[in-house]
Copies of this chain bind each other. A is one copy, B any other.
Amino acid sequence: MTVALDALASWQVPLYEDLHRHPELSMREERTRGIVAAQLAGDGYEVHEIGGGVVGVLENGAGPTVLLRADIDGLPVQEATGLPYASTATQEDADGQVQPTMHACGHDVHTAVALGAARLLAAHREDWCGTYVALFQPGEEIAAGARAMVEDDLVARVPTPAVCLGQHVLTSPVAGRVAVAPGPVLSSSASMRVTVHGAGSHGSMPHLGVDPVVLAAAIVGRIQSLVSREISPSEFGVVTVGALHAGTSANIIPDRAELALNVRAYREEILDHLVEGVQRMMRAECTAARSPHEPEFELFHRFPMTDNDLMATARVREAFVAQFGADRVEHMEPVTASEDFSAIPDAFGAPYCYWGLGGYVEGRETAPNHSPFFAPDPQPTLRTGTEAAASAALAWLGGAG
């Protein structure tokens, strides 16, 4: 398919740059959904809009069904890459706040690559048989999209796959390579919004109030010891306070502080210990501070672990080695991030394989996913991702290949 891939690039790169310029927040991917649906329809897919996402189904004779999932949402990050196609977009979030938006996690790569693989398979029906399902999922960043599609009856509306596939662009391996491994490759994760209460006062009269800024600071400091002291140094565990907001004015003691936290682990019991530990410490610090009300916790964005099927992964790996050569197929180290991808195969009861796609050409300084500087090299990333998606699917569909 080499010739096909070369031809594909002149369509795929501008598509990618357009997607990059127009990131959309989770569960608000109106424009992206439109582009995806139009492309799939144009390539001959039967198109379904399900739970905020789009699914293209291409039946091509008897044979197994393979589902490849891509996520399509951006992040509320102010892009700072300086790329010619950098995003300057903004969008209103669910709270009515206007946010800058950026494809800071590479879902634009995933979308362009999955559309490329869909087009490739549609253009080369003679090489395979079975059913190919191209699934574009919204709201991955907030652990909402996979669930939304499942709740919108995904399982009943599309053919049941023999295997589900997914991939993510990463800072490692280098662009041009893929990385894959059986077993746990992504962590489980939970997010929490917390309000802790003080009592407002004039900044010069702290004794007449309860200072929620000092309280919130004590909490942030204290919970560092969950990771440093309470879980085994051999265990993977992370507690990040990603947002902390309190007060409007230098000389008014506000009456509350709001924190947003994210907690991760590879084992559920560690995740539970961390989540409970955060709550224990917050309650205790509120007591220490004479907080007038209990803290309010809202748990959200609970991501499952991503745990690759042994057999399916062996098959994908074999296909990659055949496609890329062994030196371009690395062993995937477990990644600290999380995904809601596995909710889709779990809904079908299907095995799955999720792999890493190299994003930065060798020698370039890398900015991590979610950074305002995240900027994978379009090529050879797009091409490698497209090849990976297509060759993995053909490992099931390609009996005729």
Q: Which A residues lie at the B interface, using CB under 8 A?
A: 75-77, 99, 104-105, 141, 187, 189, 191-193, 199-209, 211, 213-214, 216-222, 224-255, 257, 260-262, 264, 280-281, 283-285, 287-290, 300-301, 333-338, 368-373
Determine whether the beta carbon of A224 is less than 8 Å from that of B233.
no
- Given A214-B229, A253-B240, A372-B200, the answer on whether A205 and B280 have CB atoms closer than 8 Å is no
A211 CB contacts on chain B under 8 angstroms: 225, 229, 240-241
A304 to B228, CA, bound (A): 22
- Given A214-B224, A217-B216, A221-B218, the answer on whether A242 and B232 have CB atoms closer than 8 Å is no
Determine whether the beta carbon of B238 is less than 8 Å from that of A75.
no
- Given A214-B225, A247-B260, A250-B242, the answer on whether A233 and B336 have CB atoms closer than 8 Å is yes
Determine whether the beta carbon of A251 is less than 8 Å from that of B189.
yes
Determine whether the beta carbon of A243 is less than 8 Å from that of B248.
yes
Starting from the known contacts A204-B337, A206-B229, A218-B222, 12 additional A-B residue pairs (CB-CB under 8 Å) come to: A76-B249, A105-B202, A187-B204, A200-B372, A202-B336, A202-B368, A203-B264, A217-B217, A222-B288, A244-B245, A247-B260, A251-B301
A226 CB contacts on chain B under 8 angstroms: 228
3 A-B pairs closest in CB distance = A243-B247, A217-B220, A284-B288
Task: Give chain B nearest CB distance to A36 CB in angstroms.
Answer: 24
A373 CB contacts on chain B under 8 angstroms: 200
